[in-house]
Structure 1
């Protein structure tokens, strides 16, 4: 187990260092602007190191556990599709509809595979929704130093226990790779994750949610807890933009974390989000022995609490939002 974590941590560190050198040579630089939350020109694309770590893990686990090989293959291909379109977009901006189309295909591939494995149409539908939604949630929420990587790290730890087996190890590989990436991105960002990383991480977490839901059965609401902070912030911000008639697919700085970071700074917001998510993970382990009805009620109550705090943050800090 320790060797597994060390290997993927090292891939995260070495891969991010190499990605930064490549980004500087290719002038893949995110410039500050009205629709961005950073103030210093910074290279992008460091998330490719996390993608490589996940692909190495998927291949290794598929070989070691042949019964999981078909699903690992579908996951790996879907991950490559999402990361690939993100990598291209990091080099030259693409149409958001083209990216979404690739995300849909990747999600459909994984959904068909897991639905066939478990002979469940409902699980296939859940997998399609979770991978497609979280792919875009992590892309939306990757806006300040360390936030997307730290939230992915924490969520992966929570999902590792719920998924178990080979997929638990895949989740731990994701966590270790994110930990290797973080020193380059927090508290000061020397490189950004880029679309190649944020989308792929979201896809991986969505797949882990689906596998974990299949593993825990009627207690499936548990899988909604590790990703709750990001899901609520992105969903409510998107809903507000739709209600305002805005072009919701365009870049903006209206998320609660962005509004708060303008007043408190990136580091404080990232640490606070991490602290809340860690508490949620600990609480989810605590309620795991309870019955499904209690878990569903607890999950619903927590989401309402997140919505309340989203409103508080928006009302207090969104005056300068654009």
Structure 2
């Protein structure tokens, strides 16, 4: 990549950090706090909504990209609009809680925009439908998994780095910018949380990660299954926890503390150790991912299935020892 592009990357980190500081001052002034409770993993009232800094940073990066690459303006505009929709409904929910159905409808609309881009790029309606379902799910998964200090942000950093290594040419900047925007926010949330991301940030991160996966699916030959490997920790924990709640007849959309990472904290582990454990597992996941991206498609899929089975077995083993 040209040196000029690299010179702009420190600005992404700086802008995200400054905006997070501003978001914290705003939250304190407006008294936007997440209060401790039985269904939460923190014990001190903490400002929320800091994820708006990541969102604004990503939107500024999209605007800069539209100036540099005018031929990609439509794609950037549509994906940016989807990000605004998800972040906007999350920002509203952070200020005044909304019904889950209303949020889901907005998520579907934003996911539909991303799916439309996939359809336009591939001409494959089934791949577009997969993008729609996957994006809607990931928006909510990232929200569900944003329950302890640093976990959602650090996993997004890993995903951004993983896809930056496999996306061709300038497209790699999408992963780098996502990782840097999250890195600018992280010191305010980990190891001690001075502000939480809030729904504005967690849902938007899920959308941004889904956009990276969709981008890789249309710009590389990597199997869809292998593209899921960098997300294994969240997909397995969120997916099987929600499935177990559904099968037991619980109201799965309600807040709870039954995810594996939440059980670990309830069992006495610190936020730092749990987030660190997920980060280490994420490092293994992206190592497997990057090592296998040049295999034949059937072997990529086989490795992905084997890795997800391994992660599922590990999840079951650890969860069994953390009943409470």
Q: Which band: TM-score by shorter chain?
A: over 0.9
Gaps of 5+ in 1: none
Is the 8 Å Cα contact of residues 153 and 174 (structure 1) preserved in structure 2?
Answer: yes
Shift, 1:34, TM fit: 0.5
Unaligned runs of 5+ in 2: none
- Residue 293 of structure 2: which of 275, 288, 291 is its match? 288
SS class of match (1:252): coil
Q: Compare 163-172 and 39-48 and name the one that shifted more.
A: 163-172
3-state SS in 1 of match to 2:321 = helix
Equivalent in the alignment of 1:255: 259
Paired residues in the alignment total 319
Q: Would you say the 8 A contact 1:162–1:215 is kept in 2? A: no
Matched, 1:96 2:100: yes
Given the two structures, how large is their TM-score scaled by the length of structure 2?
Answer: 0.95
Measured on the aligned residues, the alpha-carbon RMSD in Å equals 1.3
Equivalent residue, structure 2, for 1:200: 204
CA distance in structure 1 between the partners assigned to 2:294 and 2:127 by the alignment: 22
By how many angstroms is 1:162 displaced? 2.8
Asked if 1:268 corresponds to 2:273, the answer is yes
- Once the two structures are TM-superposed, the CA of residue 127 in structure 1 deviates from its matched residue by 1.9
The alignment partner of 2:141 has SS state of helix
Contact kept, 8 Å, 1:260 with 1:318, in 2: the verdict is no
Alignment equivalent of 1:246, drawn from 250, 267, 283? 250
Once the two structures are TM-superposed, the CA of residue 215 in structure 1 deviates from its matched residue by 1.8
Pick closer, same or farther for the CA change 1:182–1:212 going to 2, 3 Å: same
Which of 293, 305, 311 is the aligned partner of 2:310?
305
Aligned with residue 72 of structure 2, among 68, 71, 74: 68
1:129 to 1:161, Cα distance in 2 relative to 1, 3 A: farther
Contact 2:216 2:222 survives alignment (8 Å): no
CA contact (8 A) 1:126 1:210 kept: no
Residue 34 (structure 2) aligns with:
30
Cα-to-partner distance string for 1:10-56 (whole Å, 9 max, x where unaligned): 11100110000000000000000011000011000000010011111
Aligned positions of 1:140-289 closer than 5 A:
140-217=144-221, 219-262=223-266, 263-289=268-294
